[in-house]
Amino acid sequence: MSGAATWWLAPLALGAALAGGVYLTAVLDRLVARAVAGVPLGVPDALVAPARGAALLLLSPPAATERPDAQSWALAPALLAAVAAAGTAAIPLGPGLAVADVPDGIVLFGAAMALVMVAVFLHGWSANSAMPLLGGYRFVAQALSYEMPLALVLIAVALPAQSLAVGDIVVAQEHIWNVVRQPLGLPIFLVTAAGLGFWGPLALPDAADVAGGTSVEAAGSALLAWRAARAAVLVAAAAMAAAAFLGGWLGPVLPGPVWMVAKTAAVLVAISAAGHLLARVRLERFVVVAWTVLIPLALVDVFASGILAL
């Protein structure tokens, strides 16, 4: 088949990979929650629960507020899912197995993740309700605090590879992974990943103290779409962590894509565990810590990586 006839295969594969990642995130989160609670894991139940929850939301009636911006309200989950897909497109599952393993893949990922702020604020603003708007403003403050550490640690992993392509960064870890070479990078990245997906201790825009924040007025299929899009952002961040810090597809015996999926799942388990083991932090405390601790540590990571590269 010609390239013109098969152009749709790459986006279809990307969509299928993200859908599988969202399902895997839901299953792993349920298993981790049961493990933290000290109850039997119930693997069969965990495998069925995401589909059961999705069906219940699809059967639930939609919600409405007084004079919302309906088009923007519907657009917000789609935009969040789209930026997750754009970021994931630059991450290869194996050698040459990427939708867009472009020369500036790290830049593409960072630019896509910066647009998460737009989608979350749009979701909070368009409902025309007080608590969603407050959640949207919360995320703006949160995003402005984690984006600088995120950019710095991604620059640091590009230095040993002397390339901004994610595939080249994976290949540069053939002898030693970046998690060993740059021990500050992965912990900082995991904090920013929790911020990107507003998950666990950084679930500030949709927190209980604002009655659910940006998603309090959403219900039915709209709420399902929002939750799935948020999980897709977590999948994109976990996949980048696996590629940038854990050697990506590199590993013995098993095929490269299997290693990439396994490492992504391991990062998702770590993020999920943080959500169940750590209390949600106050916004002002996170902002202070981000600017006074995370950014200086990220700068140390960049300088140390640059010295080692030289």
Tens of pLDDT, residues 120-164: 999 999 999 999 999 999 999 999 999 999 999 999 999 999 999
Residues 172 and 158: their CA atoms lie apart, in Å, by: 9
**Does residue 1 lie within any of the structural domains?**
no
Q: How far apart are CA 300 and CA 298, in angstroms?
A: 5
Q: Which amino acid, 147?
A: E
93-107, 232-246, 267-281: the lowest-pLDDT one:
93-107
Share of the chain above pLDDT 70, in %: 97
Q: What's the number of domains the chain is made of? A: 1
Tens-place pLDDT, residues 169-178? 999 999 899 9
Tell me the per-residue pLDDT of 17-59, one tens digit each, with 9 for 90 and over: 889 999 999 999 999 989 988 888 788 888 999 999 999 998 9
Share of the chain above pLDDT 90, in %: 57
pLDDT at 7 over 80: no
Kindly tell me if the per-residue pLDDT of 4 is higher than 60: no
Neighbours of 233 (CB within 10 A): 28
**14, pLDDT greater than 90:** no
Tokens 């298993």 sit on residue: 31
In a domain, 171, yes or no: yes
Average of per-residue pLDDT values in the chain: 89
If 0-12 CB within 10 Å is exposed, 13-18 middle and 19+ buried, where does residue 53 land?
Answer: middle
What pLDDT score does 1 carry? 43
Report DSSP state, residue 293. Answer: I
Any domain includes 208: yes
Tell me if 281 is assigned to some domain: yes
- Asked if the structure places residue 272 within a domain, the reply is yes
304 close to 182: Cβ distance less than 8 angstroms: yes
Q: Which domain holds residue 22?
A: 9-309
Q: What pLDDT does residue 148 have?
A: 93
279 occurs within a structural domain: yes
Q: Is the pLDDT of residue 209 over 70?
A: yes
**147 domain-assigned:** yes
In a domain, 2, yes or no: no
Q: Which residue has the higher pLDDT, 200 or 117?
A: 117
| pLDDT score, position 37 | 85
pLDDT digits (tens, 9 = 90+) for 68-116: 888 999 999 999 999 999 999 989 988 877 787 788 889 999 999 999 9
